[in-house]
């Protein structure tokens, strides 16, 4: 499904849906190429927008593959127009097309530099959501949370219920293959029962199985070299998409799988949570949910600061790079 953005109001309406939350005290860059969104990046408003900060931002934005940028500033406490204007100039010098910069407050928006008051009256234009754009996102099941803090709370661990399963760090996880099949079957009901969550989380302690799952959820992310062939077959049978997935159904599948992975991560026993949060983070990153990916990976590292795949993925995302480095097979990338 294609969502068409034709005006500043449409863009302002779309940004919270693209991010997953309503930005506050933030700068947002929406990168476009051939009328398709390539990159959506949110930055905290900088306390020092000096040359180093600008150089880092330009470097990150270059990596997204966009040729044109729409810059928006969300600020109620301090002006952000000057910072965005400087960033816009630097992007133009770097060869990018930059649309007029937009500044958004709690209830108004305006261009950072208006050619006339007919464009933006004093105080700006009242925020008026584009209902057609909002309806398209809602039709996809998308609903932005009120803030990044709210998004973080939505993936935070919840109190665990004892499963009576004994040792959490070892054991036969093979029954979890059926649990993964149930999780990926978005046309059937599914509940995160404690014993099921335990098996799913325990299975991810086998890194070959974890990598086989990630490779199947996100085709092309990892190769098969070094993976046991039976793991590849089991993962493809358990969570592989249909041979000919199509638009709306595929979007719904991704949304439902992400929601279920969130539930598993939040309810995982603490000794096993790094694997479930990392799996959530990698899948979310590859399916275009950058903020969710960052928060999940940060949570994984709170659980286990030495979990390599979480740290590597977080570093790659922070550099604005695609996750191609993860395609190197074998490595104990986790």
Q: Does some domain include residue 61?
A: yes
Q: Which residue has the higher pLDDT, 3 or 321?
A: 3
Q: Does some domain include residue 92?
A: yes
Q: Does some domain include residue 130?
A: no
Domain around 69: 8-112
CATH of the domain at 71: 3.40.140.10
Number of domains in the chain: 2
Other Cβ atoms within 10 Å of 20 Cβ, number: 22
* pLDDT per residue as tens digits for the range 124-182: 788 888 888 888 888 777 788 999 999 999 999 997 655 455 455 556 788 899 999 99
Q: Does some domain include residue 143?
A: no
* pLDDT per residue as tens digits for the range 229-284: 999 999 999 998 666 556 677 778 888 999 999 999 999 999 999 999 999 999 99
Least confidently predicted of 2-11, 31-40, 60-69, 103-112: 2-11
Q: What pTM value is reported for the model? A: 0.83
Same domain (yes/no): 194, 58: no
Same domain (yes/no): 70, 164: no
Q: Does some domain include residue 14?
A: yes
Pick from 65, 84, 112: which residue ends a domain? 112
Q: For residue 56, what are the contacts with CB-CB under 8 A and spacing of at least 6?
A: none
Task: Please state the rounded mean pLDDT for residues 314-320.
Answer: 79
Q: Is 170 exposed, middle or buried (0-12, 13-18, 19+ CB in 10 A)?
A: exposed
* pLDDT per residue as tens digits for the range 84-127: 888 999 999 999 999 988 999 888 888 877 655 566 777 778 88
C-alpha–C-alpha distance, residues 106 and 303, integer Å: 36
Model confidence band, residue 288 (pLDDT cutoffs 50, 70, 90) = confident
Same domain (yes/no): 87, 164: no
Which residues make beta-bridge pairs with 21? 145
Q: Buried b vs exposed e over 33-69: b needs ≥16 C-beta within 10 Å?
A: eeeebebbbbbebeeebeeeebeebeebbbebebebb
């Amino acid at each position: 499904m294609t969502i068409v953005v034709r005006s500043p109001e449409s863009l302002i309406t779309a940004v919270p849906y693209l991010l997953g939350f309503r930005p506050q005290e933030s700068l947002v860059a929406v990168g476009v190429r051939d009328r398709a969104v390539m990159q959506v990046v949110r930055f905290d408003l900088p306390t020092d927008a000096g040359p180093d900060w600008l150089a880092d931002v330009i470097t990150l934005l270059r990596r997204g593959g966009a040729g044109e940028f729409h810059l928006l500033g969300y600020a109620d406490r301090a002006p952000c127009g000057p910072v965005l204007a400087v960033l816009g100039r630097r992007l133009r010098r770097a060869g990018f097309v930059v649309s007029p910069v937009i500044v958004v407050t709690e209830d108004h928006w305006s261009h950072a530099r208006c050619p006339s008051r007919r464009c933006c009256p004093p105080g700006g234009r009242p925020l008026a959501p584009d209902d057609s754009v909002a309806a398209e996102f809602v039709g996809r099941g998308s609903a932005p949370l009120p803030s990044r803090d709210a998004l973080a709370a939505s993936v935070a661990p919840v109190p665990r219920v004892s499963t009576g399963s004994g040792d959490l760090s070892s054991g036969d996880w093979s029954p979890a293959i059926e649990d993964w099949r149930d999780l990926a079957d978005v046309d059937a009901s599914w509940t995160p029962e404690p014993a099921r969550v335990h098996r799913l989380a325990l299975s991810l302690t086998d890194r070959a199985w974890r990598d086989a799952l990630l490779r199947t959820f996100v085709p092309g992310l990892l190769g098969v070299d070094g993976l046991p062939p039976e793991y590849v077959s089991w993962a493809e049978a358990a969570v592989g998409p249909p041979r000919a997935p199509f638009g709306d159904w595929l979007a719904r599948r991704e949304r439902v799988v992400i929601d279920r992975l969130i539930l598993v991560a939040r309810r995982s026993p603490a000794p096993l949570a790094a694997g479930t949060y990392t799996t959530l983070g990698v899948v979310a990153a590859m399916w275009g949910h950058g903020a969710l990916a960052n928060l999940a990976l940060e949570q994984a590292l709170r659980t286990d600061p030495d979990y390599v795949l979480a740290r590597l993925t977080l570093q790659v995302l922070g550099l604005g790079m695609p996750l191609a480095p993860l395609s190197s097979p074998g490595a104990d990338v986790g």
